[in-house]
Amino acid sequence: MQDLISILDLAKEEVLEIFEKTDALLRGKIRLRLDGKIVSLAFFEPSTRTALSFESAALSMGGRVLGFTSEESISVAKGENLADTVRMLDNYSDCIVIRHKFDGAAKFASEIAQKPVINAGDGKHEHPTQTLIDLYTIKRIFGTPEGLTFGLLGDLRYARTVNSLVRGLKFFRPKKVYLISPPQLRLREEIRNELDYPTEERVDPRDVIGDIDVLYVTRIQKERFPDESEYEKVKESYRVDVRLVEEMRKDSVILHPLPRVTEIDRRIDSYPQAKYFLQASLAVPLRSVLLHEVVGGVEA
């Protein structure tokens, strides 16, 4: 494996192998070592969870991390073009984990760098390592991600986690995927056209909530709406609250890539369907396996 820019850079077998290794790591059956390797974090867009979980993953295997987690912290080189910055990190490390506000920035970086590049989110394009965590969480809960019914809720137009996830689901033939969003935030047409499984667009989650195995929630951001009153109108309908969860099946689950703000009521945390903390806890082991594959560590 070299670069990971899109979830579709992986074959299904590679995804399953990553899941198996993560299982083995969690069961203590393998130990992964990255001694002497340096991972660089090139976070042009700030992030806490993604950056720190990559850092924890690298450190836990004996690797080291350098780089930056906000554009301001590299202010002096502000005028520097992305290519030169990537070349610099290519000299300083064995792997580049990049987040950038522009779609395609990770792909561009991978064309400049000789070292492998991992996309940690580029614009509204993709966030493939989050998708691996999402799918692996589903596999842990349901035994397999195959043949389930999904409800993707919220911002389906700009959320890169959703764009990656709908592509990743192609590996696992979902029974159906409900695309539940306000009209302004529908999944983009060109992405929906890529999908080879049944999808159905919905505006109100309550219409289909009883049919769903996995409810995947993303935040709706005020900035996406031309005026605030429109935002205020839709906001409430896409908030996961007690009333909505009471209508969900007992064996269904709620996932969220986190951080959440108001889109999931904190009272939901104690419901059996709330699996977003489990999901969050799988980020470090899964990213450990991935970094280890990409950087070429030693298995002990």
Residues that bind a second copy (CB under 8 A): 36, 38, 40, 45-49, 52-53, 55-56, 59-60, 62, 64-70, 72-77, 79-81, 83-85, 87-89, 91-93, 258-262, 266, 277, 280-281, 283-284
User: Is 125 among the annotated ligand-binding positions?
Assistant: no
User: Is 184 among the annotated ligand-binding positions?
Assistant: no
Question: For 2-11, b where at least 16 C-beta lie within 10 A, e where not — what string?
Answer: ebbbbbebbe
Whether the Cβ atoms of residue 15 and residue 167 lie closer than 8 Å to each other: no
Full DSSP string of 95-116: EEEEEESSTTHHHHHHHH-SS-
The secondary structure of residue 19, as a DSSP letter, is H
CB closer to a second copy out of 10 and 47? 47
Q: How far is the CB of 260 from a second copy (least distance, A)?
A: 7
CB closer to a second copy out of 68 and 225? 68
CB closer to a second copy out of 57 and 209? 57
CB closer to a second copy out of 53 and 161? 53
Handedness of CA 91, 96, 101, 105 (dihedral sign): positive
CB closer to a second copy out of 64 and 202? 64
Whether the Cβ atoms of residue 275 and residue 255 lie closer than 8 Å to each other: yes
The secondary structure of residue 248, as a DSSP letter, is S
As a whole number of angstroms, the distance between CA 258 and CA 247 comes to 23
User: Is 49 among the annotated ligand-binding positions?
Assistant: yes
User: Is 27 among the annotated ligand-binding positions?
Assistant: no
User: Is 258 among the annotated ligand-binding positions?
Assistant: yes
Backbone angles phi, psi at 164, to 5 degrees: -70, -40
Q: How far is the CB of 42 from a second copy (least distance, A)?
A: 10
Q: Could you tell me which of 23, 32, 19, 30 has the C-alpha nearest to residue 298?
A: 32
User: Is 130 among the annotated ligand-binding positions?
Assistant: yes
User: Is 219 among the annotated ligand-binding positions?
Assistant: yes
CB closer to a second copy out of 85 and 163? 85
Q: How far is the CB of 195 from a second copy (least distance, A)?
A: 29
CA distances (Å), 200 to each of 9, 207, 251, in order? 26, 12, 22
Q: How far is the CB of 88 from a second copy (least distance, A)?
A: 6
Binding positions: 49-50, 78, 99, 127, 130, 160, 219, 258-259
Binding positions for carbamoyl phosphate: 49-50, 99, 127, 130, 258-259
